[in-house]
Structure 1
Amino acid sequence: MTKVDIYDTLLRDGTQAEDVNFTVKDKVRLAEAFCDFGIRFIEGGWPGSNPRDIEFFKAIKKSSAPIDSIAAFGSTRRAKRSCETDENLQALLEAEVPNLTIFGKTWDLHVREALKLSPEENLELIHSSVSYLKSKVDRVFYDAEHFFDGYKANREYAIKTLFAAKEAGADCLVLCDTNGGTLPDSLVEIIEDVKKHVGTYPLGIHCHNDSDCAVANSTLAVKHGITQVQGTMNGYGERCGNANLASVIPNLQLKYGFECVPAANLKKLRVLSRLVNELGNLKHNIHQPYVGRSAFAHKGGVHVSAIMKNSRTYEHIEPELVGNTQRVLVSDLSGKSNLIYKAKDFGLDIDSNDPAITGVVEKLKELENKGFQYEGAEASFELLMRKAMGRFEPFFDSLNFRVIDEMRDKSDSTVAEATVMIEVQGETEHTAATGNGPVNALDNAIRKALSRFYPNLNGMTLADYKVRILTTGTGTQALTRVLIESKDDNDTWGTVGVAHNIIEASYQALIDSIEYKLLKDRENAQNT
């Protein structure tokens, strides 16, 4: 099986999309998830452009992501600078990662109008920059910006720019459809012509989606000899986006037989796609191919009748191959197999005929209808399963809470105070605490009430907090989902809460987070 290197640039190119933003912690967590999924290269950012990307390259070295998969992005040197004095090239090296990707001008229009250089001077920029970086790191990928438009305008010069990078030692020449306007037939013709000039030299593809052809172009490019595909998970990117790797990967692997990620990992695709949206606080596209909730949903009577006899009649692949499920709308018949799979993940041994599974399915349907989603909140889902199956022993009973957020003077910041009443081991704890906001105050009060009984909670911290409005158009009465990420010295976990009241939703997620921490600590103690 021929391997294809998948190169995800979500953490850099994807964040140029409108409404897409990730914290440094988000980017590290996504890089870890991409590596776990099997994506070969993850572009972390442009260290010469902003402080956040500089922080990412510091943080990623302390993560579980293998550094051999991390790439930094930048441009060729400036015309009036040497490689040794160019800030951009030096920032790339200071990122201290083994893979560097730099872009250069391929379209003579840009050389004349943007850089104000002669064609020969631009070729020297490309050659010297690639050569210099290649002497310092393991791999240098050259992104030929606007290659297809440049080829159409001046074929001879566009190819010369590739040779400048090739002769300097670039490990891969990446052909970029930066404006996203190239159609598949034209793209294939140009790739075939490039191959006549560069021979078997490694080529990559980087497509934007302005003509809605990025996935098709990327897939066809591999069929015609491309060995590296750049894109973004879920297709996020500037303007209309980049090639959507959530479609490109299964297209190549399931339709054409290329190896993009380990075969066993492909079933994680839907979870990975949804994790990107959850961390980016973005709405899931239910109609997204392969991974969307509606990708294998059936409603029409004729369709339902057919798929009940043979799912191939209206499904182009088995949905389980990419971690999705078949759904029959109105009478949803799916769910058991997925829940059994998750139960095993959680260490819960359960038989498919156990009536408890039916109870979990029904509870899950009820909660999903209320707006709960468990991608990025698997700790809440595990607690849900254990409680529905009668396999959870409570650590405490939450009785009530109150939160006051007060501005005492116009010149002062607001002061938040929370009071909670919790019953633990037959004793009632009534405790108050302050915080830098209502959620922080509530978190402090809950822990204060429990710390006498469970001092291990002192080693747990709230790492992230996200809010999603679920019912638009209802103003301040909107239904709200809160996603909380917590961590201790050994693990990181996510929990979720949903309510019209944001404090109530936060309280649900906080309680789940604490219960999960106590559950895992108890299990670890029993296993040692």
Structure 2
Amino acid sequence: MNTVEVYDTTLRDGTQGENISLSVDDKLRITQLLDDFGVTYIEGGWPGSNPKDAAYFQRAKDLTLTHAKITAFGMTCRVGGSPHDDANILALLDAETPVCTVVGKTSLLHVTEVIRTTPEENLRIIRESLAFLTANGREVIYDAEHFFDGYKLSAEYAFQTLQAALDGGATMLVLCETNGGSMPWEVEEITRTVAEAFPGARLGIHTHNDSEVAVANTLAGVRGGAVQVQGTINGYGERTGNANLCSIIPNLELKMGYQCLPDGKLASLTRVSRAVSEIANMAPNFGAAYVGRSAFAHKGGMHVAAIRRNVDSYQHIDPALVGNELRVLVSDLSGRGNMLSKAEEYGLDLSSKDAQEVVQQIKELESRGFVFEGAEASIAMLMRRRQPDYVPPFELLDFMVVVENRRGRGLFAEATVKIRVAGQEIHTVSEGNGPVDALDRALRKALVPVFPQLGAFQLADYKVRILDGQNGAAATTRVLIDTQNGHQRWSTVGASANIIEASWQALADSVEYGLVVVEPEPVSL
């Protein structure tokens, strides 16, 4: 099997994405994560650009890495200067990494208009910068910035810059599609032309996603002869992002027959993607290929009916290969198969007739503002209530919520709840910092003596959405509640023109699900 090296630049190019900022500790955690994943190179940052990157390289020396090499990134020495006394070049040496990646100008536009020098001087600073680092014992990777644009402007000069890099000792020539404007067929053809012109050189490919083809361009580069792919986890990066390694790697391994990672590591892909998004404090992209929560989620009734007969009928790979999982969603687009699959997931014996009736109930509820895709605990309760032997743990008789603004006390919320539990009617009242909190406290007050495990439940999130704002204060309100007990988390939904009623629906489902499914037996508090 042919191999392709993975060069990860999440810690440098990825952090140039909007709203992404990593502390030194964050970068060290991601470094360890990427090394465990099995990438070949980890670009740690630009040591000459800021103190944080300099601190990262200092602390990274203490890491014990088993697979990856850390590389420091920088640019060629200044026009008219020498690498021997160039602060940026010396910072690369001070980083003490085994590898240095140096970016240089390929396009005559950038040579004459950006760094404002002659073509000959640009060739000199490329050659001498790389030679200096090579002489100091560093493996040097050369990033040919704007290569494809430069090639289209003057292929002859673009080739001269690559030759200068080889003369300086570069071990890898990386063709950079910096502006993200080239198409895959162009990238493949140009990369193949370079491979033919420099038969002894090893080529890499680095693309950006401005035209939404960064992954395709990277794969095209490999088809053209590249043996190294550069990108970031989750496609983080400047403007619209870098090429997404979470798509590139499985495409290369599963679709194109290349090996990028050590055996067995591909199954960690989803975990790595989600861990990096968590560390970067970025919301995960549910729709991301391979690793997204929705990547193998099936919602349409026809699709679910098909995968119940043959799981491969509506998925291109086994999700376990990348550490993901198949999911069946339930909504007003669902069919009977969706409900039967969900019943099996929850270990319930649901008849075909009951499944169809639950589907109809869900369709009717969604027409009134409910949504069940993000509230699977509410789905579970709809199905459990269809079981012939199901006995609910409690029954609501009535509730009342009062919100007042009292002089000297400010806003004040009080809830009264009357429920039937264990054959008895219990009437409780409780205060809260708002109407939903007061309701929650009153319900707990009534139930905890009978179900002490409820004391471990916590309201983790409360989301409100107004569905038809044109109706003003009479608009339908949807409430989603997340509850957790320390080791599990579940979501429920309610919808009504009255926000308190919608909140009660979601709250009651949440408590009932917790008592029936999550903690059916009392726990030690």
Q: TM-score, with normalisation over the residues of structure 2?
A: 0.65
2: CA distance, partners of 1:124 / 1:80? 9
5+ residue gaps, structure 2? 331-337, 348-371, 378-459, 467-478, 492-525
- Within 2, Cα distance between the matches of 1:230 and 1:159? 21
**Maintained 8 Å contact 2:16/2:237:** yes
Deviations 1:14-51 (A, max 9, x none): 00000111111111001100010111101000000001
Describe the SS at the equivalent of 2:104: strand
Change (3 A) 1:311 1:131: same
3-state SS of the aligned residue for 2:150?
A: helix
* Alignment-mate amino acid for residue 100 of structure 1: C
Task: Answer whether contact 1:76 1:125 (CA < 8 A) is retained.
Answer: yes
Per-residue deviation, 1:472: 8.4
> 1:262 deviation in Å?
1.8
Counterpart mapping for 1:226-375 below 5 A: 226-330=226-330, 331=338, 333=341, 369=375
Question: 1:162 maps to what in 2?
Answer: 162
Aligned to 2:400: none
**Cα distance, 1:479–1:137 mapped onto 2, change above 3 Å:** farther
Structure-1 separation of matches of 2:129 and 2:207 = 23
Q: Give CA-to-partner distance per residue, 1:369-418, whole Å, 9 cap, x none.
A: 599xxxxxxxxxxxxxxxxxxxxxxxxxxxxxxxxxxxxxxxxxxxxxxx
Q: Distance in 2 between matches of 1:296 and 1:480?
A: 25
Distance 1:160 1:324, change over 3 A: same
Distance in 2 between residues matched to 1:173 and 1:320, nearest whole Å: 35
2:36 touches 2:66 (CA, 8 Å); kept in 1? Answer: no
Give, in angstroms, the shift of residue 495 of structure 1.
9.3
Alignment of 1:59-70 (within 5 A): 59-66=59-66, 69-70=69-70
Q: Deviations over 1:269-312 (max 9, x none)?
A: 00100011111111111110000011111111111111111121
CA spacing shift, 1:473–1:64, aligned 2, 3 Å: farther
Structure 1 residues 473 and 74, CA gap change in structure 2 (3 angstroms): farther
Cα 1:498/1:280, change in 2 over 3 Å = farther
Counterpart amino acid of 1:118?
T
1:486 corresponding residue in structure 2: none
Per the alignment, do residues 315 and 82 of structure 1 end up closer, same or farther by CA in structure 2, a change over 3 Å counting?
same
Code of the aligned partner of 1:216: A
Q: Distance in 2 between matches of 1:335 and 1:62?
A: 51
The question of whether the paired residues in 1 share the 8 Å contact of 2:72 and 2:92 is answered with yes
CA distance in 2, matches of 1:263, 1:310: 28
What SS is found at the alignment partner of 2:140? strand
User: Relative to structure 1, is the Cα distance of residues 202 and 324 closer, same or farther in structure 2, using a 3 angstrom cutoff?
Assistant: same
Q: Max radius of gyration: which structure?
A: 2
Q: Do the aligned partners of residues 202 and 117 (structure 1) sit closer, same or farther apart at CA in structure 2, a change above 3 Å counting?
A: same
- Offset, 1:469: 8.7
Partner of 2:353: none
Query: Alpha carbons of 1:497 and 1:52: their partners in 2 closer, same or farther (altered >3 Å)?
Result: farther
Superimposed CA distance per residue, residues 156-213 of structure 1 (whole angstroms, 9 cap, x where no aligned partner): 1011100100121101000000000010111111112112211131000000000011
Change (3 A) 1:142 1:290: same
Matched residue SS, 1:176: strand
Q: Which amino acid aligns with 1:82?
A: S
- Is contact 1:266–1:322 with CA below 8 Å preserved after alignment? yes
Q: Distance in 2 between matches of 1:496 and 1:122?
A: 59
Structure 2 counterpart of 1:206: 206
1:261–1:469: structure 2 CA closer, same or farther, 3 Å change rule? farther
Structure 2 Cα separation of the partners of residues 248 and 324 of structure 1: 16
Match of 2:41 in 1: 41
Q: CA RMSD in A?
A: 3.2
Which AA in structure 1 matches 2:308?
Answer: M
Residue type of the alignment partner of 1:280: A
Equivalent residue runs for 1:102-501 within 5 Å: 102-330=102-330, 331=338, 333=341, 369=375, 471=463
CA distance in 1, matches of 2:123, 2:74: 17
Distance of aligned partners of 1:196 and 1:245 in 2 relative to their CA distance in 1, 3 Å threshold: same
Kindly indicate whether the alpha-carbon contact (under 8 Å) linking 1:67 and 1:98 is maintained by their aligned counterparts in 2: no
Amino acid of the residue matched to residue 263 of structure 2?
A
Cα gap change, 1:268/1:214 in structure 2, threshold over 3 Å: closer, same or farther?
Answer: same
SS of 1:73 mapped into structure 2: strand
CA contact (8 A) 1:12 1:44 kept: yes
What is the match of residue 7 of structure 2? 7
The change in CA–CA distance for 1:307 and 1:236 in structure 2 (over 3 A counts) is same
Q: Secondary structure at the match of 1:282?
A: coil
Partner Cα separation in structure 1 for residue 306 and residue 136 of structure 2: 60
Residues 473 and 21 from structure 1, CA distance in 2 versus in 1: closer, same or farther, beyond 3 angstroms? farther
1:413 is matched with none
Deviation at 1:224, TM superposition (A): 2.1
CA distance in 2, matches of 1:253, 1:245: 12
- The more displaced of 209-218 and 75-84 is 75-84
Distance (Å, rounded) in 2 between the aligned partners of 1:89 and 1:335: 62
Provide, for residues 201-237 of structure 1, a one-character-per-residue CA deviation record: whole Å limited to 9, x for no partner. 1000000000011000111211221101000010010
SS in 2 for 1:263: coil
- Report the Cα distance in structure 1 between the residues aligned to 2:45 and 2:138, rounded to whole angstroms: 18
Which residue in the other structure is 1:16 paired with? 16
TM-score by length of 1: 0.64
Identity of aligned residues (%): 48
What amino acid is the match of 1:315? Q
Q: State the SS of the aligned residue for 1:261.
A: coil
Please give the secondary structure, in 2, of the residue aligned with 1:262.
coil
Q: Which residue of 2 aligns with 1:90?
A: 90
SS across alignment from 1:62: coil
C-alpha contact 1:172 1:204 (8 A) present in aligned 2: yes
Alpha carbons 1:103, 1:143 under 8 Å: kept: yes
Partner of 2:397: none
Aligned counterparts of 2:23 and 2:344: Cα–Cα separation in 1: 36
Counterpart code for 1:90: L
Letter of the 1:50 partner, please give it.
N
Aligned counterpart, 1:26: 26
One-letter amino acid of the counterpart of residue 106, structure 2: T
Change (3 A) 1:498 1:86: farther
Partner amino acid for 2:166?
Answer: K
Whole-Å Cα distance in 1 between the matches of residues 21 and 33 of structure 2? 17
Q: Which amino acid counterpart does residue 29 of structure 2 have in structure 1?
A: R
Q: Distance in 2 between matches of 1:203 and 1:187?
A: 13
Q: 1:19 to 1:498 in 2, by over 3 A?
A: farther
Check conservation: 1:68, 1:98, Cα contact below 8 A. no
CA distance in 1: counterparts of 2:482 and 2:82, whole angstroms: 52
Q: Which runs of 4+ in 1 moved over 4 A?
A: 331-337, 368-371, 468-474, 478-482, 494-499
Paired residue secondary structure (1:84):
helix
